Amino acid sequence: MSREREEGPDDPLMSIGVFARRARLSMKALRLYDRQGLLRPARVDPVSGYRRYRESQLATARTVVLLRRLDMPLAEVAKVLAAPGPAGAELVAAHWEAVERRVAAQRELAAHLRDRLSGEGGSPRMDEVREREVPEQVVLTEQRHVRVEELPGWIDAATKRLCGAAQAYGGPAGPVFVVYHGEVDEDGDGPVEICLPVAAGDDIEGDAAVRREPAHREAYVRLTKAQVEFPQILSAYDAVVQWAAARGRACTGAGREVYFADRDGAGPADEVCDVAFPVD
């Protein structure tokens, strides 16, 4: 019998070279997967260090190959392999949803850069800007200086805190909006203010700050979830400012993002947010 097929006719051992060819993996990859604990050899010679694999391990090896073709990091591959069947399938689905969100955001960013570099302006375009009247609102607020990489997490956490505080007053009376009183980018940290309208007067008790947001007219452009990603969302701000300038209108207040839909449950093409400026 060949040394490449030993012990157990139903599940023979094979050399690392034979196993690599049948699994369509390089021996270098197999050694890496051994070190990572993804695919350990069935037997290692204590003297020579020579690795041997069982034929039954080919299924795992081929699963690793397929997962890596999805650009799944090795740490995530390990979680899929360790999970029972349905749980592993859910992990693959979650990974692919994240890939699709990233690709959708990158598609919007590429369109934004293409338009800017070609001199055609940002995306969305000025002809997509609309106007509306916004009545006076009493809002619960939270404000802080925040870096761009911290912004999404802080918005989510602050929104939950304000929604919790609003329950004492019958819940939110309108969509949450985020006002940028200063630039938030690689060099600036705002400040940023999150506002949640409530159906109450100024005599709100508790820890939440409260103020009145004056009635105003605002120009706005509607964005999908993919377009909300930074930095392509900046093109929406540019579109509204350019729209106002082209009509001799002045922006009379800070730019803001009005979140009228749940971003977590939305798909990349779903509309979730308005970028708006108060205008005269």
Number of domains in the chain: 2
73/130 same-domain check: no
Say if residue 249 is in the same domain as residue 135.
Answer: yes
Specify the higher pLDDT residue, 1 or 50: 50
Q: For residue range 191-214, what is the model confidence (pLDDT) as tens digits?
A: 999 999 998 765 655 556 889 999
Q: Is 195 within the bounds of a domain?
A: yes
Alpha-carbon span 134 to 132, nearest angstrom: 6
**122 CB-contact burial (10 Å; exposed 0-12 / middle 13-18 / buried 19+):** buried
CATH code, domain carrying 194: 3.20.80.10
The mean pLDDT value of the chain amounts to 86
Answer yes or no: do 158 and 239 share one domain: yes
The answer to whether residue 98 sits within a structural domain is no
DSSP string for residues in 126-194: GGG-EEEEE--EEEEEEEE---TTTHHHHHHHHHHHHHHHHGGGTSBSS-EEEEESS-BSSS-B--EEE
pTM: 0.59
Q: For residue 5, tell me if it sits in a domain.
A: no
pLDDT of residue 205: 57
Last residue of a domain, one of 59, 77, 95: 77
Whether 151 shows a pLDDT value over 90: the answer reads no
Statement to judge: residues 240 and 138 lie in one domain? yes
pLDDT of residue 2: 37
**3-state SS assignment for residue 100:** helix
**Residue that finishes a domain, picked among 43, 60, 77:** 77
- Domain membership of residue 181 (yes or no) is yes
pLDDT at 3: 41
Residue 93 inside a domain? The answer is no
Query: Residue 37 belongs to a domain with what CATH number?
Result: 1.10.1660.10
Q: Are both 40 and 148 inside the same structural domain? A: no
The reply to whether 47 and 175 lie within a common domain is: no
* Residue 152 shares a structural domain with residue 59: no
By residue range, what is the domain housing residue 191? 126-279
Nearest residue to 280 via CA among 248, 256, 257: 248
pLDDT in tens, 106-115: 776 777 677 6
Q: pLDDT tens-digit profile of 119-145? A: 654 456 667 899 999 999 999 999 999
CA distances from 49 to 29, 43, 46, 176 (A): 16, 9, 6, 62
- Assign 78 a pLDDT band (cuts: 50, 70, 90): very high
Q: What's the pLDDT tens digit per position in 253-268? A: 999 999 998 877 888 8
Tell me: the pLDDT tens digits for 222-236? 998 878 877 778 888
